[in-house]
Amino acid sequence: MSISCMKIALPTQYSPCVRPANRQRYRGVAVASLRGDFATLGVSVTEGEGNLPKVVLTSPSGSEADVYLYGGCITSWRLANGKDLLFVRPDAVFNKKKPISGGIPHCFPQFGPGPIQQHGFARNVDWSVFDSESVEGNPGVTLELKDDSYSRSMWDFSFHALYKIILSERSLSTELIIKNTDKKPFSFTTALHTYFHASISGVKVRGLKGCKTLNKDPDPTNPLEGVEESDVVSFPGFVDCVYLDAPGELNLDNGLGDNILISNTNWSDAVLWNPHLQMEACYKDFVCVENAKIRKVQLEPDQSWTATQELRIA
Ligand SMILES: O=P(O)(O)OC[C@H]1O[C@H](O)[C@H](O)[C@@H](O)[C@@H]1O
């Protein structure tokens, strides 16, 4: 994925666009104060569910994406025909009492289980709008997350995360940069825990044959090692499996007539998850195909790690 940038400033309502010289932090603030002086075409901020601030990206073709500052979570990726390729679970809440259950939550600085809370804190804190831009005519927004007393209470490091999201007619691209702003090294694991809308009996994931697997079923804390032998992974029952050194491109047939190419750089691993009868009310309607970094990323002071993901409808 190549991301080249051209900034334009056109006035639209609710713009969150912030010029570097005038950068402000929009974190846990009322939507009214998000109606800034600057604008990027196709980027707006509105009130989402539970009155939480939500960035809406609208591409010239009419595709749309919703991004909650809470958790830096993309909850919706709608094609121009209105079809939403992401899924939010019916038990999701938008009250900051727990992470948003659906869309693309972050797992950082831990893909659980592990010593801190399952999947880390990045999915249950407010990110800020750092910047907005037009990228080859398509809308983009960058969110920011830094350590604070809450994060330090469980992970005592100074870090800076930037998460750029760009929407085009047929793709949704992200770039995550984690920088060590501490004086000491740290390590982390991470994932983009993407929930795709699906019809689970028809779901097929291609591209994983030959990968080393860590099967978290039955015991997530003690996964079983194996090798994926199938060209096509399907979901006849409960699935919770890590694939190490996964290829840079996977193909998801969501069982609803869509083929989605999931390509990445630097997300070396993948995770497939469907809870089957553990979530009887909704398991048939989604599948999680997650780009992940399961083995620790080690960063020295001032070093950073960058990974990109592109979801593209074939
Ligand atoms: O319920 P959550 O904390 O969101 O986690 C949901 C799931 O995330 C990943 O896919 C893990 O591999 C699973 O073990 C976990 O159950």
pLDDT for 138-176, tens place per residue? Answer: 999 999 999 999 999 999 999 999 999 999 999 999 999
| 66-85 mean pLDDT | 98
Judge whether 157 and 182 are in contact, CB under 8 Å: yes
Q: Starting at the edge strand that comes first in sequence, how are the strands of the sheet with 73-78 ordered?
A: 43-47, 53-58, 64-68, 73-78
Give residue 88 CA to ligand 1 midpoint distance, Å.
14
Lowest mean pLDDT among 2-16, 86-100, 240-254: 2-16
State the chain's mean pLDDT as an integer.
90
Give residue 251 CA to ligand 1 midpoint distance, Å.
21
Pocket test for ligand 1, best of 240, 276, 287, 289 (most atoms within 8 A of CB): 240
pTM metric for this prediction: 0.90
The pLDDT value recorded for residue 275 is 98
Q: Is 290 a catalytic residue?
A: yes
Judge whether 173 and 309 are in contact, CB under 8 Å: yes
Q: Which atom number of ligand 1 is nearest to the Cα of residue 288?
A: 10
The pLDDT value recorded for residue 104 is 99
Rg of the chain over CA atoms, in angstroms?
Answer: 19
- 193, 197, 228, 310: the catalytic one is 193
Query: Following CA atoms 15, 21, 25, 31 in sequence, which dihedral angle do they give, to the nearest 10 degrees?
Result: -20
Q: Which parts of the chain fold into alpha helices (H)?
A: 149-154
Q: Which atom number of ligand 1 is nearest to the Cα of residue 240?
A: 12
Judge whether 208 and 243 are in contact, CB under 8 Å: yes
Phi then psi for residue 160, to 5 deg, are -135, 120
Domains plus CATH for the chain? Answer: 20-313 (2.70.98.10)
The pLDDT value recorded for residue 40 is 86
Q: How confident is the model at residue 112 (pLDDT cuts 50, 70, 90)?
A: very high
- 144, 175, 290, 310: the catalytic one is 290
pLDDT for residue 211 is more than 90: yes
Q: Which atom number of ligand 1 is nearest to the Cα of residue 119?
A: 3
Return the SS3 of 123: helix
Q: How confident is the model at residue 4 (pLDDT cuts 50, 70, 90)?
A: very low
Closest C-alpha to 292, from 254, 226, 238, 245: 245
Q: How confident is the model at residue 2 (pLDDT cuts 50, 70, 90)?
A: very low
Closest C-alpha to 286, from 225, 199, 222: 199
| 66-87 mean pLDDT | 98
| 24-38 mean pLDDT | 41
H or E element: which one contains 249? strand 249-253
Please report the ipTM that was assigned to this predicted complex: 0.94
Q: How far apart are CA 287 and CA 299, in angstroms?
A: 32
Q: What's the pLDDT tens digit per position in 297-311?
A: 999 999 999 999 999
pLDDT for residue 37 is more than 70: no
Ligand 1 contacts (CB < 6 A) are 118-119, 193, 216, 220, 240, 271, 273, 288
Pocket test for ligand 1, best of 73, 193, 194, 269 (most atoms within 8 A of CB): 193
Q: Is the dihedral of CA 280, 69, 144, 148 positive or negative?
A: negative
Residue nearest to atom 3 of ligand 1 (CA): 118
Q: How far apart are CA 112 and CA 144, in angstroms?
A: 22
Return the SS3 of 50: helix
Q: What's the pLDDT tens digit per position in 223-274?
A: 999 999 999 999 999 999 999 999 999 999 999 999 999 999 999 999 999 9
Q: How confident is the model at residue 217 (pLDDT cuts 50, 70, 90)?
A: very high
Pocket test for ligand 1, best of 93, 118, 189, 222 (most atoms within 8 A of CB): 118
**Between these two residues, 19 and 91, which has the higher pLDDT value?**
91
Q: Please state the separation of Cα 271 from the chain's center in Å.
A: 13
Residue nearest to atom 13 of ligand 1 (CA): 240
